[in-house]
Amino acid sequence: MFLISFFKKIVNAILGLSIFTLLAIGCSDPYRGIDYTRFQREEAKLLAEFYEMYEDSLFALAVDTIIDNREKSGLLFLGTERGVGDTLGLHKYASFRYDYYELLRHPETEKPALLKRYSNYGGGEPDVIRIGDESWFSGLHEGMSFMRIGGKATLVIPSTIGTRNEFITIVIDVEVTTAEF
């Protein structure tokens, strides 16, 4: 009788520990239960509204090249100044200056709005990128591969080729200052 009672206590302890472990593991993911597809839909809806409102103005910015890869990668490239020489292509080092904006919904009007987040104009050295490597994000690499030294462009980059998990489209005004061929 004593042995049966002892084994029952051990089995109950093991079961209790197993349940506790399963609960601890199951609760350790802070993102569990988040509907990421909802964020993707909301970003796509905001971007569609942005293009509906501002597409004509965006295309009017382009005085050089328009590369519309919205159906393929998602990138919209608007060349605002041509630059000189060959396009950068892949695996070239380039220094660049930029203004970085996030496409958000204006809290009062509920309309798409650009919020400036970063800029490296006005001080310090330009940033350096090796086009096609893993630094920065793929949308910037894709856009800069079309540029030339001294060229300027506006890039509209959805999160799928930009910020990834933030579900925020970014707009970057970029200028290539130097490059190594």
Query: Could you read off the pLDDT of 135-149 as tens digits, one per residue?
Result: 788 999 999 999 999
Residue 23's pLDDT is 47
3-state secondary structure 106-156: CCCCCCEEEEEEEECCCCCCCEEEECCCCCCCHHHHHHHCCCCECCEEEEE
Task: Please state, as a whole number, how many other Cβ atoms lie within 10 Å of the Cβ of residue 172.
Answer: 21
The reply to whether 108 and 23 lie within a common domain is no
Whole-Å CA distances, 155 to 1, 31, 107, 168, 181: 78, 30, 24, 14, 23
**In terms of pTM, does the model score above 0.85?**
no
The reply to whether 9 and 57 lie within a common domain is no
Please tell me whether residue 40 adopts helix, strand or coil conformation.
Answer: helix
The number of domains in the chain is: 2
Model confidence at 126: pLDDT above 60:
yes
Please tell me whether residue 160 adopts helix, strand or coil conformation.
Answer: helix
CATH number of the domain encompassing residue 158: 3.10.50.40
**Helix (H), strand (E) at residue 80:** strand 75-81
The reply to whether 10 and 71 lie within a common domain is no
Residue 8's pLDDT is 57
- The residue range of the domain holding 22 is 1-33
If you compute the radius of gyration of the chain from its CA atoms, what whole number of angstroms results?
25
**Helix (H), strand (E) at residue 82:** none
The reply to whether 65 and 122 lie within a common domain is yes
The reply to whether 28 and 48 lie within a common domain is no
The reply to whether 128 and 86 lie within a common domain is yes
The reply to whether 13 and 55 lie within a common domain is no
Region 149-157: mean pLDDT is 97
The reply to whether 29 and 61 lie within a common domain is no
